[in-house]
Structure 1
Amino acid sequence: MTHRGHRGDAAGEAVQATQAVPVDPAASMSLLNSLLANPLDAGYEHYRADHGSRPASLAGKIGVFAVAVALGFGSIVATSSLRAPAGDVKSDLKTQASQRSATVEALNDDVQSLGRAIDQYSQSGSGAASDPAQDMVTATTPVHGPGITVTLTDRSGPGKGSGTVRDQDLAMVVNALWAAGADAISINGQRIGPDTFVRTAGSAILVNVTPVSSPYEVRAIGDSNALSVSLVRGATGDYLSAAQSVTGMTVSSKVSDNITMEALTLTDSHYATPVGASNEGGSS
């Protein structure tokens, strides 16, 4: 009985001791609280204690200041270099525009002077002596001689491609014959002169203002051998071969001992005058 009473007293004292000690509800969060309160490792604390209290040297401060000044100066230089080319480009464009404008004006003056010279040579009854070479260039006189006839024909039946001859096909042949040394050229009897144009208008091809149709006979007076070779070699030969394959048209040529061409029919030039100038002329 005595032993049991002693053990009972000891258990009671242990319970009282346990109840007397307060229990911290956040005891299980002590590790997390320690990390939040002191995030640095202990090694950092020792390094800070050994080196953190040392004041920065004067040389270090000067070095930092020099680096900062260099970075600032470099930023200013870079900004200036980025802004400078814009002004240079604008000035260059203005200079080029003024130069091109001057070139265009000079070319316009040349065109006008050449046009006046052509009018003087082409006008009939002028006091100037007739120049055979100039008459040949301006196509103002009839001409005859040996040469070749190049015939371009639309495809008659169905097949691949449109089958029609285009204005660029005729222009390619005419330019090749001129380059080969032709003295005179005509298309379906229409003499080719300095102002002649070959253009498509609807379903017809116009030579100057006269419509022509297939077959298109391009006649050229000159060295027949040179003229024939110009159509089968180089870029012209490749173009005509490809055109025949794509469109389905046919191209043929023959040498003629004597080809006759009429002179180009000249048209009168009409010039516009300002309304003010015409009124002043009428009032005077």
Structure 2
Amino acid sequence: MTLLTEMMERPLDPAYAAEAERRVARGLSPTPPPRPLRIAAILLVLALVITIAALALRQPRAVIAEQKADLISRIEERQQAGDAQRARAATLNQEIATARGQLLAAQDLQTLNSELAAAELGTGAIAVSGPGVVITLDDSAQAAGSGAAGDPRAAGDVDQGRVQARDLAIVANGLWQAGAEAVSINGHRLTSLSAIRFAGDALIVDFRPLTRPYVVSAIGEKGQLHTRFVGTDAGSYAQGLADNYGVRYSVDDHDQLTLPADPSMDVRVARVPGAGPSAAATSGAAPTTATNTPAATTTATTTKEAVSP
């Protein structure tokens, strides 16, 4: 108890009081004056430490930005190289088709040549021209932020004003339902193997990213394709996107459109007409069968075939 009482009554060590008395006896103040140089040195050290820490934190961001810019540059170079290869493939396919047509004509096989042309049109192996419609979809003026995978209209944290993969798939299928003979999105021809997907912030068709605005072109009966599409569920859906979410949407008729061929089309199965499956010669890939009827798709994939005029 004596120790506790001493601590409560005299919390300061007696040595401090004795030192203060000695300073007063020498004519000095009880406490030593502040030392500006020491304080300045301490502040300088603190400022130096803070500066070094700030630079250490900012440097990785600069490195990341540089790496990101380099990656974007490499991606763009790869895409340009891929586009050049696709263009060359399309040119070679056209030359092959021309040579094949001349050979068939020389052999007086006009019927077979016509059937082949119709099959190529239906599968997207050749470019097509004719009247049609162009549907343009674009994000709303207020759209911001990034989307998410899955159903874009079901998640509350997703910007509803952005065009999603599901929207493009529904519009494409609506055009097939309305009687379109060929469809493309931003110049990418849709075939029975095409897929519309949503990956992070990007919409992709056949593993090719799309840029805004999203232009869906379709060739079909003049004056009828537009009216039939507007009357489908897909037309009502597209109009609902514009009315409810501010998505920019328009449908325009065109007297002449040209849709490119799909350069990635490859022959996987060959069979002599009238021969059974045993006569088929395959390249090792699983056979695929093309029909003339468009099929419905999921929110991420569109599956269809064009019909011959």
Q: What interval of TM-score do these two structures reach, taking the shorter chain for normalisation?
A: 0.3 to 0.5
Q: Max radius of gyration: which structure?
A: 1
Q: Which has the higher helix share?
A: 1
- TM-score of the two chains, using structure 1 as the length reference: 0.47
- TM-score of the two chains, using structure 2 as the length reference: 0.44
